[in-house]
Amino acid sequence: MFFIFLISNLIIVPLCRYSYGKMWEYREGMVLGVHIPATCIHHPEVEELCEKYRRNWTLFHRINLAVGTLSCFLCFVDYIVFIIVWSLWLLEYACGLEYLIIVPHRRMYRLKVKKGWVDERSKKIVRIDTAVSAASEKMALDWKWHLPVLALTAATVFLVVEGERRFHVSWAEAWPIWLLYGTGVGLCLLFLGMHLAVVRRPNRVYSNHTEINLVANRLMKRSWTEGFVYASWLNGASWIWMAFWYFRCGPDLPGAVYGIYTALLILEAAALLFPLARSVRKRREVLEADTSACYIDDDEYWKKGWYNNPGDRHLLVQGRFNSMNMSMNYGRPAAKVITAVLAAVVVGIVIWTAVLLADFINVEVLFTQEENTFTFEAAGYDCSFDKEEIRSVTLLEDMPDENFTRTNGGSTEEYNVGHFRGKETGKCMMFLYRGYTPVLEIRLDDMTVFANSQQEETTLEWYEKLAEGAAEE
């Protein structure tokens, strides 16, 4: 887990830094996402604003790379504390990114308006290149390349169902794998939808020369659609890999399976971003070599830091601050609805995670008996069984000498709680304080339960009650 989070941090921070970096340079008629005349780029106020942005941007990412990396070492101290600290760091990093991108952009826009650097003619021009429009369909990769991997990914439902049947997997153990299945199919559908949106997106006119416009638009549409297809296939491959091994091994998956799954996901991100980064560089070279480049001043629609144009029927447009991004048009009601839904989902996930982690902060194993029913509870997990289900109750001086895989639960240096699978024991649940003995082993019809207390006397009391119930049966 340490290496997964560490590698993620080492990828996320540099990627964001260089994806949105160098906005202080004058490119495509803009600086800090605002169109200004080339003659104004050396204005003292512009240079001061750009230099301040450059310093803050560099310092922000250096600090966050260090903090994000150091936070990963909390994994070895307390896993729950690590998750809380890392989540707070990620939230701070995301909010900081938005602040450092939007606030300088707004300041530059206000400076532009104040100085009167607005070309009213370019604001009203709608440029159309009919030759480029006629060739639009040939610029992008065919969307049908998504269909085979989408069908294969969706068909793995049969592997999951059969794996559950073969290994008698309960819903409590199965829901994480179904979540991964839904994510795999959902991402394939998302990439397909984004592919179609790019294909239907209107072409931009960058120059008075049709050849330049054809090259620039082909670069962007081809790279976007290629990235979506590559990412879709690697996403499908990663999930099909997991589904195959789930079919073979059930929830008790080898660590190497998760390692290869993670590697495929990293390749998926690289396959999506590499064509985009390459096309942005090539397009910039093409446009900078063109002496007749033309730019339309649409800053009025971006003045708040996001696109808001009720007159534009398109929901998705090319991002202003990173041409590898797509931005929503908040002049369309659908964009506001989608944002509200996504925000609600994120808040819901945060609350659910907080509640879940709260249960693991102070773990207490509880044992209760109501007539013929016994129940163990800890950290939101519980196991109830009748005395008729008990096959044997044993008092162990230590846990069985075998490997146990956590399929749904929590493990730290202090406890093991939740659903596990043993190489010999098979399906089991644990309600254990680590380092405390003795341990109760309760064999039921379909699983085994391991439990103990921090007080030896309490564990012995539980044993007597369970043994008495089993003897009566």
CA-CA distance, 107 to 33, in Å (whole number)? 11
Q: What are φ and ψ of residue 403, in 5° steps?
A: -85, 130
In this prediction, residue 138 carries a pLDDT of 64
In this prediction, residue 52 carries a pLDDT of 93
**On the CB side of 348, how many CA atoms lie within 13 Å of its CA?**
6
Handedness of CA 410, 412, 415, 419 (dihedral sign): positive
Orientation angle between helical segments 210-249 and 255-288, nearest 10 degrees: 180
Q: Which two tokens stand for residue 446?
A: 């379909």
- Which own/partner contact pairs does 73-82 have at CB distance under 8 Å and 24+ positions apart? 73/2, 75/1, 75/2, 75/5, 76/2, 78/412, 78/413, 79/1, 79/410, 79/411, 79/412, 80/357, 80/360, 80/361, 80/410, 80/412
For the chain, the maximum distance between any two Cα atoms, rounded to a whole number of angstroms, is 94
DSSP one-letter string for 93-160: HHHHHHHHHHHHHHHHHHHHHHHT---HHHHH-----HHHHHTGGGTSPPGGGHHHHHHHHHHTHHHH
For residue 141, what are the CA distances in angstroms to 44, 283, 386? 46, 18, 60
Which amino acid is residue 258, in one-letter code?
A: Y
Instruction: Assign residue 379 a region (left: φ > 0; alpha: ψ between -120 and 50; beta: otherwise).
Output: left
Which amino acid is residue 79, in one-letter code?
A: Y
In this prediction, residue 169 carries a pLDDT of 86
Is residue 419 within 8 Å of 395, Cβ to Cβ?
A: no
In this prediction, residue 56 carries a pLDDT of 94
DSSP one-letter string for 47-77: HHHHHHHHHHHHHHHHHHHHHHHHHGGGGGT
In this prediction, residue 288 carries a pLDDT of 65
Instruction: Assign residue 288 a region (left: φ > 0; alpha: ψ between -120 and 50; beta: otherwise).
Output: alpha
In this prediction, residue 144 carries a pLDDT of 94
CA-CA distance, 457 to 158, in Å (whole number)? 48
Is residue 270 within 8 Å of 199, Cβ to Cβ?
A: no
Orientation angle between helical segments 146-155 and 210-249, nearest 10 degrees: 20
**pLDDT, one tens digit for every residue, the chain (473 residues):** 676 678 778 878 887 887 777 888 888 788 898 888 888 889 999 999 999 999 999 999 999 999 999 998 887 777 778 888 888 899 999 999 999 999 999 999 999 988 888 765 555 444 444 444 545 556 788 899 999 999 999 999 999 999 999 888 888 888 889 999 999 999 999 999 989 888 877 777 666 667 777 777 788 888 889 999 999 999 999 999 999 999 998 888 888 898 899 889 889 988 888 887 777 777 777 766 665 556 667 888 898 989 998 888 888 887 888 766 778 899 999 999 999 999 999 889 888 877 777 777 778 999 999 988 999 999 889 999 998 899 999 999 999 988 888 888 888 788 899 999 888 888 999 999 998 989 999 999 889 999 999 999 999 999 999 988 666 65
Q: Which two tokens stand for residue 101?
A: 């991108």
- Angle subtended at Cα 275 by Cα 232 and Cα 234, rounded to the nearest 5 degrees: 20
CA-CA distance, 279 to 467, in Å (whole number)? 71
The single residue listed with the structure tokens 């007749």 is 292
